[in-house]
């Protein structure tokens, strides 16, 4: 099947056309700065690259532009929209209703709209993408794949915060977790690699990118994850604080006169690697500066790795036995010192990195970096959220027939 994958953000639309029988990306593109003076269109089909500044006033026009590029003689892999079998949409928040991907209808649209209060920055632009896509391709099956749905198996004693219970019942305040599509994808790949049925596999999956989260997977299902009600909780991230004492925020407002919008900005945009180092949110730069002896860059690096280690430890106890620890995403797949440092000193617990394998792994393929005597396997697995969305969409569409 040829499945169009859409990731629609507030000012950008990312897309990929994937052939699910070969897993090949037929073309992909990014339309950004939508609604600004000069929008930017970037589209590639194999070696052909189209880049141009254009006027794209809104999402609906972005979709029209995408469709012309998909069918363009030089840059497009298809001749007509009839060549597309279905559209898969990344949707950030599916609330408590969706534990699986779902075919989009009026009810689903209303539910995504309702969940916008839980993800005000993400669900509204995701929905704009869905509506524009339906407008352009009204007769195609459209599927929503939620970042939260993989985590709907997390049990109540794990997802409930220690707040008055009514806050959960009345306002839906609980742990939801994010990056579910990536955690699920690498879990499936890890089980295949280990040659075990997923339902018998226990994993700790570390998605370490600009946003970062760790998931404890018990018998193939998410049991706990480090992000929470929002994607701010948990690990130190590029610009997000991760775990902090919530009373700090009250102190900032009451005693230091910061406004709520300022506080929101601080914990989301000015904290993490950037805030600690005062230099960059990019782990490559942090590692380099830290190796040059910069105190704050080293501190940022150390905090990042310490939290990864701490969550891995907590999740080992939470799920009892662990077949493998998986590293994925920009930092997880590429950053040798983060993997080495996060797992340092865990030999007693059966976690032993083979330093040579860790340093010399080939990019883009699944690699086991554990030493021969490591009880727990340590895997580096390239994530592919778009392919996962395509596969989920394909499964739903096949069941329609």
Which residues participate in catalysis according to the annotation?
Answer: 147
CB 223 within 8 A of CB 154: yes
E-strand spans in 121-211?
142-146, 203-208
List the one residue out of 145, 231, 146, 194 whose CA is nearest residue 381.
Answer: 194
Query: Which residue among 117, 284, 344, 398 contacts ligand ADP (CB under 6 A)?
Result: 284
**Candidate list 72, 334, 366, 371; residue touching ligand ADP; CB under 6 A:** 334
Q: Which one of 60, 210, 230, 265 is in contact with ligand ADP (CB under 6 A)? A: 210
Which residue matches tokens 């989009």? 104
In the complex with ligand ADP, the residue whose CB is nearer, 126 or 202, is 126
- Contact call for residue 272 and ligand ADP (CB under 6 A): no
Residue 11 in contact with ligand ADP, rule: CB under 6 A:
no
Closest distance between ligand ADP and the C-beta of residue 335, in Å?
Answer: 4
Query: Rule CB under 6 A: is residue 330 a binding residue for ligand ADP?
Result: yes
331 is a site residue for ligand ADP (CB under 6 A)? yes
DSSP type of residue 246: T
Distances (CA, A) of 283 to 325, 330, 379: 21, 9, 20
Structure tokens at 148: 């939260």
Cα 89 from Cα 78, distance rounded (Å): 20
17 touching ligand ADP, by CB under 6 A: no
Contact flag: residue 129 with ligand ADP (CB under 6 A): no
According to the binding rule CB under 6 A, does residue 19 interact with ligand ADP? Answer: no
Stretch 29-58: interaction string toward ligand ADP, x if CB under 6 A: ------------------------------
Q: Rule CB under 6 A: choose which of 94, 95, 238, 275 binds ligand ADP.
A: 238
Q: Would you say 104 or 212 has its CB closer to ligand ADP?
A: 212
> How far is it, in rounded angstroms, from Cα 239 to Cα 232?
10
* 220: contact with ligand ADP by CB under 6 A: no
**Between 198 and 273, CB nearer to ligand ADP:** 273
Give the interface segment with ligand ADP, choosing from 56-64, 99-107, 206-214, 393-401 (CB under 6 A): 206-214
Side by side, the strands of the sheet bearing 12-19 are 48-54, 39-45, 24-32, 12-19, 2-8, 86-91, 142-146, 102-103
Q: Is the dihedral of CA 226, 231, 234, 238 positive or negative?
A: positive
Say whether residue 340 binds ligand ADP (CB under 6 A).
no
Q: Please choose, out of 52-60, 151-159, 323-331, 351-359, the segment that lies near ligand ADP by the rule CB under 6 A.
A: 323-331
Q: From the CB of 331, what's the least distance to ligand ADP, in Å?
A: 4
Among 5, 329, 376, 378, binds ligand ADP (CB under 6 A): 329
CB of 338 to ligand ADP, least distance (A): 7
Q: Shortest distance, CB of residue 215 to ligand ADP, whole angstroms? A: 15
Query: Measuring CA to CA, which residue among 281, 312, 106, 291 is closest to residue 204?
Result: 312
| Minimal distance, residue 389 CB to ligand ADP, in Å | 14
Please name which of 264, 96, 250, 92 lies closest in space to residue 171, comparing C-alpha atoms. Answer: 96
Min dist CB 237 to ligand ADP, Å, is 8
Question: Which contacts qualify for 310-315: CB closer than 8 Å, 24 or more apart?
Answer: 311/204, 311/214, 311/226, 311/234, 311/235, 312/204, 312/206, 312/214, 312/342, 312/343, 312/346, 315/204, 315/214, 315/215, 315/216, 315/224
Point out which residues pair with 48 in neighbouring strands.
45
Region binding ligand ADP by CB under 6 A among candidate stretches 15-23, 101-109, 144-152, 327-335: 327-335
CA distance 218 to 319: 6
Sheet of 212-218: strand order equals: 221-225, 212-218, 203-208, 324-328, 377-380, 367-368
Q: Does 375 contact ligand ADP by CB under 6 A?
A: no
- Closest distance to ligand ADP from the beta carbon of 146 (Å): 17
Contact residues for ligand ADP, defined by CB under 6 A: 209-211, 238, 282-284, 329-331, 334-335
């Amino acid at each position: 099947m040829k499945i169009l994958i859409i990731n629609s953000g507030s000012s950008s639309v990312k897309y990929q056309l994937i052939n699910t029988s070969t897993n090949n990306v037929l073309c992909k593109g990014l339309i950004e700065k939508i609604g600004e003076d000069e929008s930017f269109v970037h589209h590639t089909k194999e070696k052909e690259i189209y880049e141009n500044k254009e006027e794209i006033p809104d999402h609906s026009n972005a979709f029209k532009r995408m469709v012309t590029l998909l069918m363009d003689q030089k840059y497009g892999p298809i001749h007509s929209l009839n060549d597309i079998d279905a559209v898969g949409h990344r949707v950030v928040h599916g609330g408590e209703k969706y534990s699986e991907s779902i075919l989009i209808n009026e009810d689903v649209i209303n539910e995504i709209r309702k969940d916008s209060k839980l993800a005000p920055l993400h669900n509204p632009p995701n929905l704009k993408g869905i509506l524009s896509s339906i407008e352009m391709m009204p007769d195609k099956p459209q599927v929503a794949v939620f970042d939260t749905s993989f985590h709907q198996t997390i049990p109540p004693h794990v997802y409930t915060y220690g707040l008055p219970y009514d806050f959960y019942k009345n306002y839906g305040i609980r742990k939801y977790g994010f990056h579910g599509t990536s955690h699920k994808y690498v879990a499936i790949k890890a089980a295949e690699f280990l040659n075990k049925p997923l339902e018998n596999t226990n994993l700790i999956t570390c998605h370490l990118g600009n946003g970062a989260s760790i998931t404890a997977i018990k018998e193939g299902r998410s049991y706990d994850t480090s992000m929470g009600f929002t994607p701010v909780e948990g690990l130190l991230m590029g610009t997000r604080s991760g775990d902090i004492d919530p009373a700090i925020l009250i102190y900032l407002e009451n005693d230091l006169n910061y406004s709520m919008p300022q506080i929101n900005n601080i914990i989301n945009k000015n904290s993490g690697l950037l805030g600690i180092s005062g230099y960059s949110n990019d782990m490559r730069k942090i590692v380099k500066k830290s190796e040059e002896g910069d105190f704050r860059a080293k501190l940022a690096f150390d905090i990042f790795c310490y939290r990864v280690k701490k969550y891995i430890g907590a999740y080992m106890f939470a799920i009892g036995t662990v077949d493998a620890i998986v590293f994925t995403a920009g930092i997880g797949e590429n950053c040798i010192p983060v993997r080495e440092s996060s797992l340092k000193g865990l030999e007693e617990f059966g976690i032993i990195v083979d330093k040579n394998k860790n340093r010399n792994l080939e990019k883009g393929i699944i690699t086991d970096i554990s030493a021969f005597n490591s009880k727990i396997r340590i895997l580096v697995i390239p994530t592919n959220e778009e392919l996962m969305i395509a596969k989920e969409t394909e499964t739903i569409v096949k069941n329609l027939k």
